[in-house]
Amino acid sequence: MNADIAWLLTSSALVLIMTPGLAFFYGGLVKRKNVINTMLACVFCMGMASILWVLFGYSLSFSGDIGGIIGNLNWFGMNGVGADIGPWLPTVPNLCFAIYQMMFAIITPALITGSVVERMRFSSLAVFLTVWSIIVYYPLAHMVWGGGLLSQLGAVDFAGGNVVHISSGVSALVLALFLNTRKHHGKITYHPHNIPFVFLGAAILWFGWFGFNAGSAGSANELAVHAFMTTNTACAAALLSWLLIEKIKTGKPSLVGASTGLVIGLVAITPAAGFVPIWAAIIIGALVSPICFFFITVVKPKFGYDDSLDAFGCHGIGGIWGGIATGIFAMTSINGVAKWNGLAFGEVQLFWRQLVAIGVTIVISVVGTIIALGIAKLLTKKIRVPVAAEDIGLDISEHGENAYPSFLGMD
Residue 339 has pLDDT above 60, yes or no: yes
Global pTM reads: 0.96
Q: What is the mean pLDDT of the chain?
A: 96
Distance, CA of 217 to CA of 171 (rounded, Å): 27
- How confident is the model at residue 222, as a pLDDT? 97
Q: Read off the pLDDT of residues 15-48 as tens digits, 9 standing for 90 and up.
A: 999 999 999 999 999 999 999 999 999 999 999 9
All residues at 6 or more sequence positions from 278 whose CB lies less than 8 Å from its CB, including other chains: 226, 229, 230, 233
Domains of the chain, first to last: 2-399 (1.10.3430.10)
Distance, CA of 336 to CA of 353 (rounded, Å): 16
- How confident is the model at residue 405, as a pLDDT? 83
Residue 139 has pLDDT above 60, yes or no: yes
Confidence band, pLDDT 50/70/90 cuts, at residue 185? confident
Tell me the backbone φ, ψ of residue 185, rounded to 5 degrees: -60, 130
- How confident is the model at residue 78, as a pLDDT? 97
- How confident is the model at residue 184, as a pLDDT? 75
- How confident is the model at residue 409, as a pLDDT? 56
- How confident is the model at residue 407, as a pLDDT? 66
Angle at 357 between CA 351 and CA 358, to 5 degrees: 90
Residue 329 has pLDDT above 90, yes or no: yes
Q: Read off the pLDDT of residues 146-181 as tens digits, 9 standing for 90 and up.
A: 999 999 999 999 999 999 999 999 999 999 999 999
Q: Read off the pLDDT of residues 73-113 as tens digits, 9 standing for 90 and up.
A: 999 999 999 999 989 999 999 999 999 999 999 999 999 99
All residues at 6 or more sequence positions from 192 whose CB lies less than 8 Å from its CB, including other chains: 28, 29, 30, 198, 256
